[in-house]
A and B are shown apart, each in its own frame.
Chain A
Amino acid sequence: MSQPREASKPSYTLNCRMAHEAAALERLCQVVRIRGFRISRMNMESAGGHLDIALTLEGSRPISMLQSQLEKLHTVASVDLELGDRVQSCSA
């Protein structure tokens, strides 16, 4: 018997820059999970002392709530939300 399909949740792309330290990705992913979002795609590049991480996320909660929590992480330098062709930028 097929399960009823969940209504699709809004999707967002966040671009994060953070220090390249132990457990950097785990720290980021832990916050994403506990704040109610699911990672549907992730791309990471290492350059110099930092990581650039592009996260495509799905979740029904306001993305601003996640953004402000990620900005609180000590090793996160910036979190930018892609809004179509615009970018809403915030530096921690």
Chain B
Amino acid sequence: MNGAQHILEAFHRHNISTVFGYPGGCIMPLYDALVDDVGVEHVLCRHEQACALAADGYARASGKLGVCIATSGPGATNLITGVANAHRDSIPMLVITGQVPSGLIGTDAFQETDVLGMALGIVKHSYLIDNADELPAILEEAMELAEGGRPGPVWIDIPKDILLTEVAQAATPTEQKPARAQTDITDALAMLRSAKKPLLYSGGGVSLAHAETAFREFAEASGMPGVVTLKGIGNAGKHNPNDLGMLGMHGSRAANKAVDECDLLFVVGARLDDRATGKLDGFAPNARMIHIDADAAEINKLRPADTALRGDLNSILEAFTKALKDAPLKIGDWQTLCKTWCTTGGFHTADNEEALAPITGPAFIRQMSRITPDDTIIACDVGQHQMWVAQHYHFDHPRHHLTSGGLGTMGFGMPAAIGAQFADRSSTVINVTGDGSFMMNAQELATIRRYNLPVKLIVLDNQCLGMVRQQQELFYNNRESQINLDDNPDFVAMARAFDIPALHIERTDQIRRGIETLLAYDGPMLLHVSISREENVWPIVKPGGSNKDMIDEPRRTNANKEQVA
């Protein structure tokens, strides 16, 4: 068995059935081995960046390891953005690239790049194989590393000659070490019980730890009002009465108000990212903090924790749940206050009922949230539409919301939707994108067509880079600079060129029918939605500003000041 065949054998052993890749010179031995392998489905994307982002989407939707493959040189460099995206959001990913033959490394050979050096800052770990006999052990270690602890991408760069060399050593699967946890919750529980206004603050770490059920049981048992980060959306489910929604730069006024007023922050699987906290000095100024995370390096990184628990979120949360079921918290007044804030300062803007009115992003997303099935997976791109989805779509599970949180990668959405559809063939998968993001990986329409994936594509088209335009309007004296996209191609014609049916809507009375048509169609379809160019995402915190200094939509400012005082 040569190195290439051994890689496929390792895939089988780890039940990896779907990989995303693009062939080329130095990875050809692996592609040659794939010809004889029927157990691994190789998804050929049209750009290596999309391979990595599709593997990322696959991992987010399934909770399993995502795998992407590319050749040396440009193949590897094209992967970089996708791998960085996975790194920033702690997505388990195995990256395999071919490298020029061992003897040519360092000679500026054709399609040679220093992949190991380039990728150092965007991987959990990386390897350059220099001995074929080490390949089996490294593959095992890489897969365990990618999924263990705080997950992340692990990159194996393999010279072509190693892929062709007979591998002597038999593979020995490494034993999965159970995650360690600090389960002595005595101090934290005492702190929680002494708080009058405790607030549950959760992030993407909940689903990364596969702790969704434990989290919900804890949230219910504690009755704490809760806020979520962008990646934590869905943690509490759709029907938790104490959920205040997303906090931060585009969070709800209610969520930010609760953070400002609370006397205890109970942080679960969140890293206190600047988009969530705003200016740290003004963040939760009256609160003590309990921080629970799998990654020790996140504790005390940006704000000192009064008590920290590191380890497996499941066992830690279960310990709290048990204690709280025996003796519930007495925080009725605080719950009531937060519910009042949620009513007056949540994401509730009135829909324009006028049939001929232009479509707004929030109105469209709210309608979509009402119509789509509960298990719908939404893969967003980056920009205004991403925030409208976060604000106005009601998610029942964090794995239903695929969004590029840390890196903010335009072009993430379509490949991620492709990956998600491979992970879950039966669920409705929708890519909600903007006209800017759509064009970043539009070539993947060919991948959707090739595999006849029933992915639904919704392009909210405001003919500009809306989020940049919005910030230029608000913070740069409305001096618009390089945001105009009014020469966009005809997106409907473009989809049809890929043999994907498409339709266009532009009026409020067309929203429902448009979405229903999309959902009813048995196959991929694109809905092109013209929306107002001037629509902004509200509220907003000025970058670097404090969350309590949120800027609201001008016409709502006075009303809100009165309501959420």
A83 interface residue (CB < 8 Å to B): no
A1 to B130 alpha-carbon distance, docked (Å): 53
Q: Given the interface contacts A23-B117, A30-B120, does A71 sit within 8 Å of B130 by beta carbon?
A: no
Q: Given contacts A68-B296, A68-B297, is CB(A74)–CB(B124) below 8 Å?
A: yes
**B230-271 at interface with A (beta carbon < 8 Å):** none
- A67's closest neighbor in chain B, by CB? B297
A72 near B: Cβ within 8 Å? yes
Contact partners of B121 in chain A: CB under 8 A: 30, 34
B42 on the A face (CB < 8 A): no
A interface, over-half SS: helix
Q: What range describes how many residues of B lie at the interface?
A: 10 to 19
Q: Could you tell me the distance between the alpha carbons of A68 and B295 in the complex, rounded to whole angstroms? A: 9
Determine chain B's interface SS by DSSP, over half rule.
mixed
| A77 vs chain B, min Cβ distance (A) | 14
**Which residues of chain B come closer than 8 Å to A9, judged between CB atoms?**
none
B297 contacts A26, C-beta separation under 8 Å: no
Contact yes or no, A74 B128, CB < 8 A: no
Please indicate the chain B residues that have their CB under 8 angstroms from the CB of A69 in the complex: 297
Q: Are B296 and A27 in contact (CB under 8 A)?
A: no
Say how far B94's CB is from chain A's closest CB, in angstroms: 14
The residue in chain A whose Cβ has the minimal distance to the Cβ of B142 is A74
Is A22 a contact partner of B116 (Cβ separation < 8 A)? yes
Given A23-B128, A65-B301, CB of A72 within 8 Å of CB of B295? yes
User: Contact partner of B117 among A26, A34, A73, A75, CB < 8 A?
Assistant: A26
Is B120 within 8 A of A27, CB to CB? Answer: yes
Q: Is B125 an interface residue (CB 8 A)?
A: yes
B145 within 8 A of A: yes
Contact indicator B301/A26 (Cβ below 8 Å) = no
How many Å from the CB of A54 to the closest CB on chain B? Answer: 21
Query: Within 8 Å CB of A71, what residues of B?
Result: 296-297
A68 to B126, CA, bound (A): 19
Q: A64 near B: Cβ within 8 Å?
A: yes
Taking the nearest CB of chain A, how far is it from the CB of B392, in angstroms?
36
**Interface status of B300 (Cβ within 8 A of chain A):** yes
A30, B295: Cα distance in complex, Å:
20
Q: Is the CB of B297 within 8 A of A72?
A: yes
A69 to B126, CA, bound (A): 16
Q: A64-B300, A65-B301, A74-B125 are in contact. Are A23 and B120 (CB under 8 A)?
A: yes
Q: Which chain B positions have C-beta within 8 A of A72?
A: 295-297
Within 8 A of A (CB), among B88-132: 116-117, 120-121, 124-128, 130
Give every chain A residue within 8 A of B145 (Cβ-Cβ). 74
Closest to B300 in A: A64
Measured in the bound complex, the distance between the Cα atoms of B126 and A26 in whole Å is: 12
Q: Which of A19-77 contact B (CB under 8 A)?
A: 22-23, 26-27, 30, 34, 64-65, 68-69, 71-75
| B287-337 interface (Cβ within 8 A of A) | 295-297, 300-301
B residues less than 8 Å from A30 (CB atoms)? 120-121
A23 vs B119: C-alpha distance in the bound complex, in angstroms?
A: 11
Interface members, chain B 121-167 (any A CB < 8 Å): 121, 124-128, 130, 145
Residue of A nearest to B114 (CB): A23
Known A-B contacts A27-B120, A34-B121; A22 and B128 likewise in contact (beta carbons under 8 Å)? yes
Q: Which residues of B contact A26 (CB under 8 A)?
A: 117, 120
Report Cα–Cα, A71/B295, bound state, in Å.
11
Nearest chain A residue, comparing its CB with the CB of B116 = A23
What is the distance, in angstroms, from A36's C-beta to the closest C-beta of chain B? 12
Within 8 A of A (CB), among B375-391: none
A34 and B121 CA atoms in complex are apart in Å by 9
How far is A22 from B297 in the complex, measured between Cα atoms in Å?
A: 24
Residue of B nearest to A73 (CB): B125
Name the contact of A22 in the complex, choosing from B130, B295, B300, B301 (C-beta under 8 A).
Answer: B130
A74 to B124, CA, bound (A): 8
**Closest Cβ of chain B: how far from A42's Cβ, in Å?**
17
What is the bound-complex CA distance between A79 and B297, given in angstroms? 13
Which residues of A lie under 8 Å from residue B126 when comparing CB positions? 23
A68 to B299: give the CA distance in the assembly, Å. Answer: 9
Chain B positions within 8 Å of A23 at CB level: 116-117, 120, 126, 128
How far does the alpha carbon of A65 sit from the alpha carbon of B295 in the complex, in Å? 12
- CB-CB under 8 A from B297, the residues of chain A are 65, 68-69, 71-72
Which chain A residues lie closer than 8 Å to B125 at the CB level? 73-75
Q: Cα distance A72–B301 when bound, in Å?
A: 13
- In the bound complex, CA of A64 to CA of B125 (Å): 21
Q: How far is the CB of B406 from chain A (nearest CB, A)?
A: 14
- With the chains together, A64 CA to B297 CA distance in Å? 9
Identify the closest chain B residue to A70 (Cβ). Answer: B297
11 pairs, A vs B, C-beta closer than 8 Å: A22-B116, A22-B128, A23-B116, A30-B120, A64-B300, A65-B300, A69-B297, A72-B297, A74-B125, A74-B145, A75-B125
Further 14 A-B residue pairs, CB within 8 A, beyond A26-B117, A64-B300, A72-B296: A22-B127, A23-B117, A23-B120, A23-B126, A23-B128, A30-B121, A34-B121, A65-B297, A65-B300, A65-B301, A68-B296, A68-B297, A72-B297, A73-B125
- The 5 A-B pairs at the shortest CB distance, nearest first, are namely A68-B297, A74-B125, A30-B120, A22-B128, A23-B116
